[in-house]
Amino acid sequence: MEEKLKIAVQKSGRLHDGSISLLKECGIRIDNGRDQLIAPARDFPVEVLFLRNSDIPQYLEDGVADMAILGENVVIEKQKQVEVVEKLGFSRCRLSLAVPKNTEYTGPEWFKNRKLATSYPNTLEKYLEENNIKAEIHEISGSVEIAPNIGLADGICDLVSSGSTLFKNNLKEVEVMLRSEAALVKGPDLNREKVAIADELLFRLRSVMASRNNKYILLNAPNEKIDDICNVLPGMKSPTIMPLAMEGWSSLHSVISEKDFWAVIGKLKENGAQGILVIPIEKMVV
């Protein structure tokens, strides 16, 4: 029988949709995933397993799944034999310490001899140790942010993205312990066939991510301005330059990164670019 790579994704929750759409862009399509534990992909030797996020590191270590899409925060917390292969650029968050809003916070030593509620006991314990702080850790599995208000804890250690959950619960973020994003991770022993499938998957993922981070840009400019404009365009290999029907003018095509976009557009206009078009890239083979 043909070998299949088993990829675990979150069954439901914040990572689910992002994981499924990323796999889909990589050509890995599954039929009605949600109600099943395991779903075979069409046209690619992969099976997708739908699991609780917090259980995935153990399943990877045991070889139940071969790879997974998982928050780095979970990888760090669970301390299993799993390895981050590639960061995936979504579900960005940080693991932070927060205290009631009206606290006069003086620094990490404020936490000495306090009670802290968290779903991340291992990561918190390590942080406290590194900062030479003795504090009491209360492990709870969800809704950590209500702990101070019900008198269960003095502060919390929890994931934060916008900070609105903290705000709603009258808490303020005082220390960032680590930053996290979704990542492709792998378990300890994949056989040769699975490694080959994983390599193909990684190649596709990188192409998808490169295309998400870049735009295709076209513009027109008088020939004497072309050198200045090329100096403004960062990265990639040299742009394509083609003569326009109008004497003395050229069309220039290039790829620019999303993050440089607005800065570059301004400079292009200053340097005489006209008719600028910016187009999303469907796939970018890396």
Binding region for ligand ATP (CB under 6 A): 10, 13-15, 52-54, 71, 73-74, 91, 93, 159-161, 180
Task: Kindly tell me which of 53 and 211 has the beta carbon lying closer to ligand ATP.
Answer: 53
Residue 183 beta carbon to ligand ATP: minimum distance, rounded to whole angstroms: 9
Residue 92 beta carbon to ligand ATP: minimum distance, rounded to whole angstroms: 7
Task: Kindly tell me which of 54 and 103 has the beta carbon lying closer to ligand ATP.
Answer: 54
Residue 44 beta carbon to ligand ATP: minimum distance, rounded to whole angstroms: 24
Residue 96 beta carbon to ligand ATP: minimum distance, rounded to whole angstroms: 10
Task: Kindly tell me which of 10 and 123 has the beta carbon lying closer to ligand ATP.
Answer: 10
Task: Kindly tell me which of 6 and 194 has the beta carbon lying closer to ligand ATP.
Answer: 6
Residue 194 beta carbon to ligand ATP: minimum distance, rounded to whole angstroms: 24
CA dist list (Å): 104 to 99, 101, 136: 9, 9, 20
The residue number with the shortest CB distance to ligand ATP is 71
Task: Kindly tell me which of 159 and 219 has the beta carbon lying closer to ligand ATP.
Answer: 159
Q: Which residues pair with 41 in a beta bridge?
A: 30
Residue 88 beta carbon to ligand ATP: minimum distance, rounded to whole angstroms: 11
139, 152 Cβ separation under 8 angstroms: no
In eight-state DSSP terms, residue 103 is -
Task: Kindly tell me which of 70 and 153 has the beta carbon lying closer to ligand ATP.
Answer: 70
**Element containing residue 230 per DSSP (H, E):** helix 226-232
Q: How many residues does the chain have?
A: 286
